[in-house]
Amino acid sequence: MQTILGAGGGAGTEITKELSNYTKVIRVVSRNPRKVNDTDQLMKADLTDPKQLDEAVKGSEVVYITIAFEYNLKVWRELWPNFIKT
């Protein structure tokens, strides 16, 4: 299984489209996930929550990180280090 975190944005959507040429087992994870391909597995998650993040990547062979945290220095200083540690 290949998982795309933050799949609702432009990069995540394009990766999801392209991956369908290689695999049909794609997990699309975001606050409001939407299917790009008919076989996509949708998972709603708050990726700043370590428990939900762990569940989102469980069983994945490959994880693509396309999260778009708000472009704000304070937000990035808070959220990225915590995300990376998880």
Give the confidence band of 82 by pLDDT, cuts at 50, 70, 90: confident
Residue 58, burial from CB neighbour count under 10 angstroms (0-12, 13-18, 19+): exposed
- Is pLDDT at 59 greater than 80 in this prediction? yes
Residue 30 lies in domain: 2-85
The residue type at 85: K
Residue 43 maps to which CATH number?
3.40.50.720
Closest CA to 3 of 49, 52, 76: 52
Give the confidence band of 83 by pLDDT, cuts at 50, 70, 90: confident
Question: How many structural domains is the chain composed of?
Answer: 1
Q: pTM for this structure? A: 0.85
